[in-house]
Structure 1
Amino acid sequence: MLAVFEQCIGKAPPELNVAAAGQRRECNSREETAARFRSRWPDSTLYKLANDNFLGLSHGGESPKHPRSIVVMEDIFCIFSGALDNICDLRKYYGLSRQATEAMIMVEAYKVLRDRAPYPPDQVIKELEGKFSFILFDSKTSTLFLARDREGSVALHWGVGADESLVCSDDPDLINAACGQCYTPFPPGCIFISGSGLTSFDHPLHKVKAMVREDDGAKIEAVIFQVDFYTRLHSIPRRGSASNWADAAVVEGD
């Protein structure tokens, strides 16, 4: 799977650029990344969105344990990779049919959060049992929503493209071509939402901090994001407006 979004939608953490500091970056443009994806996976599905943003899905190299699916409902796009162990319970909870896929469930969960805001996003993701990663985009509100399970069982990388756009993919070769050295695994047990940033869904009041790894010559090898249990975020009072649901990501405690 592949997603590329301009900076105003997917503003990546600045630490993703640290790995390429002072180095020449060999990156593909958004158009080149889309063309490379098409060439690598001719059977793929590619959705071209406004301002040259796009989403792509291919079943090439798919693991039977971690199938990929995509759904488009009411201008909401969701690519889901993996499987939910409690899918039957979630179907009942959201009032969906037995045929509803994991991607459909995530769209419904997002709509409930966006329109009625019963509780913050971290509480919703906590209810998911299984091995998964997903990319969801609401084209009406220009909201990007990413998540990965606690164990990081399903691959998901993110990085910064040549034009500072955010690139997400489960294909390390593809994201390496798109981002040069400016990419890293999306942190397990975390969510990312446009306007709210990166949050741990198990520890929403603790900061997710970038850790820089260096080799023996002090050259940066990688940037890894992980929960910093020594840094606690300030609690923000919950708002009543449904339009502000994304800001509630760090409202409630662990």
Structure 2
Amino acid sequence: MLAVCEKSIGKPPEELSLPTVGPQKSRTRTEIAEVFRSARPESTVYSLPGGNLMALSHQDENPLHPRSVVVMDDVFCIFIGNLENISDLRRHYGLSKQTNEAMLVVEVYKVLRDRAPYPSDQVIRDFAGKFAFVLFDARCHMLFAARDRDGGVKFQWGVAGDGSLVCTDDPNIMSEACGRASAQFPPGCIFMNWSGLVSFDHPLHKVRAVAHEDNDGNISAVIFKVDLFTRLQSIPRTGSAANWADVKVVEASSGNE
């Protein structure tokens, strides 16, 4: 799985660019797509507005964590893993038995975008299972990504040479695309390009980037963790498509400091 969004849309946290030890890559979005195609010739690449892209391959797929993709009403979603309670979620949202995980995520996103009075962290908290997903709304230029609370599915994010945000489940692709400017996507978190990184188990606590240094004092890695000692003031609620793009989560993005 691969998703690449240019800087102004992806809005990657600044801390992803901190590691200075090891090779630094200067790949562009086009070059990253070619790297993915070369490594996975049978892959399908979806070209999105603004030169953004998503790609899916079933090569080396873990049968316990299958990959699926869906495109509905200009909303693209790649889902990895399984939801143990998908039957309950289908009933809750009034969806058919043929609705798979990727389709469910799109429908849930559309509910949040258009009419839900509750925040996205509350919705994703109800997802049970091992999963990771990336969703892109081509009309609104909204990016939405999440990983299960146990980190049961491989999922990384990083910054490419042109500043694009890169998300993938393939460490080799991440290394080629971003070098050391990458990190594990934190378990139990969601990322939205309009509000930043939030823990869906601890939404009122800040998610911080912790830098790790080598013996020479160089930053070798960054790990994002929930700071249970820092409590946010509040989380605004969304209620309509009109205010969806304007809502802000107070200090939720690790790149706000």
Could you state the TM-score of these two structures normalised by the residue count of structure 1?
A: 0.94
What is the CA deviation profile of residues 122-170 of structure 1, one whole-angstrom value per residue up to 9, with x for unaligned ones? 0000010000000000001000000000010001100001111100000
Residue 234 of structure 1 deviates from its aligned partner by: 1.5
Structure 1 residues 52 and 237: alpha-carbon distance in aligned structure 2, compared to 1, 3 A threshold: closer
Structure 1 residues 248 and 96: alpha-carbon distance in aligned structure 2, compared to 1, 3 A threshold: farther
Is the Cα contact below 8 Å between 2:236 and 2:249 reproduced in 1? no
Is the Cα contact below 8 Å between 2:210 and 2:224 reproduced in 1? yes
Aligned to 2:254: none
Aligned partners of 1:174 and 1:219: how far apart in 2? Answer: 24
Aligned partners of 2:233 and 2:242: how far apart in 1? Answer: 21
Further displaced range: 235-244 or 109-118: 235-244
Identity %: 58
The residue type paired with residue 146 of structure 2 is: A
Aligned partners of 1:207 and 1:138: how far apart in 2? Answer: 26
1:5 is the counterpart of 2:5:
yes
Residue 230 of structure 1 deviates from its aligned partner by: 1.3
Is the Cα contact below 8 Å between 1:134 and 1:146 reproduced in 2? yes
Aligned to 2:151: 152
Structure 1 residues 210 and 125: alpha-carbon distance in aligned structure 2, compared to 1, 3 A threshold: same
1:218 is the counterpart of 2:210:
no
Residue 231 of structure 1 deviates from its aligned partner by: 1.2
Aligned to 1:57: 56
Structure 1 residues 236 and 156: alpha-carbon distance in aligned structure 2, compared to 1, 3 A threshold: closer
Aligned residues: 250
Is the Cα contact below 8 Å between 1:69 and 1:79 reproduced in 2? yes
SS at match of 2:10: coil
Aligned to 2:85: 86
1:178 is the counterpart of 2:177:
yes
1:95 is the counterpart of 2:119:
no
Aligned partners of 2:236 and 2:9: how far apart in 1? Answer: 25
The 5-angstrom pairing of residues 1-254 of structure 1 reads 1-20=1-20, 25-238=24-237, 240-245=239-244, 247=247
Aligned partners of 1:151 and 1:16: how far apart in 2? Answer: 21
Q: Which runs of 5+ in 2 are unaligned?
A: 251-257
Aligned partners of 1:163 and 1:5: how far apart in 2? Answer: 10
SS at match of 2:9: coil
Is the Cα contact below 8 Å between 1:112 and 1:118 reproduced in 2? no
Structure 1 residues 37 and 227: alpha-carbon distance in aligned structure 2, compared to 1, 3 A threshold: same
Residue 111 of structure 1 deviates from its aligned partner by: 0.4
The residue type paired with residue 10 of structure 1 is: G
SS at match of 1:9: helix
SS at match of 1:103: helix
Is the Cα contact below 8 Å between 2:27 and 2:162 reproduced in 1? no
Aligned partners of 2:221 and 2:62: how far apart in 1? Answer: 27
What is the CA deviation profile of residues 50-97 of structure 1, one whole-angstrom value per residue up to 9, with x for unaligned ones? 222100000001001000000000000000000000011111111111
Structure 1 residues 239 and 143: alpha-carbon distance in aligned structure 2, compared to 1, 3 A threshold: closer
Residue 235 of structure 1 deviates from its aligned partner by: 1.0
What is the CA deviation profile of residues 171-197 of structure 1, one whole-angstrom value per residue up to 9, with x for unaligned ones? 111111111110001000000001100
Further displaced range: 96-105 or 235-244: 235-244
Structure 1 residues 212 and 231: alpha-carbon distance in aligned structure 2, compared to 1, 3 A threshold: same
The residue type paired with residue 70 of structure 1 is: V
Aligned partners of 1:203 and 1:54: how far apart in 2? Answer: 31
Residue 216 of structure 1 deviates from its aligned partner by: 2.2
RMSD: 1.8
Structure 1 residues 188 and 26: alpha-carbon distance in aligned structure 2, compared to 1, 3 A threshold: same
What is the CA deviation profile of residues 91-133 of structure 1, one whole-angstrom value per residue up to 9, with x for unaligned ones? 1111111111000000000000000023100000001000000
The residue type paired with residue 135 of structure 2 is: L
The residue type paired with residue 174 of structure 1 is: I
SS at match of 1:33: helix
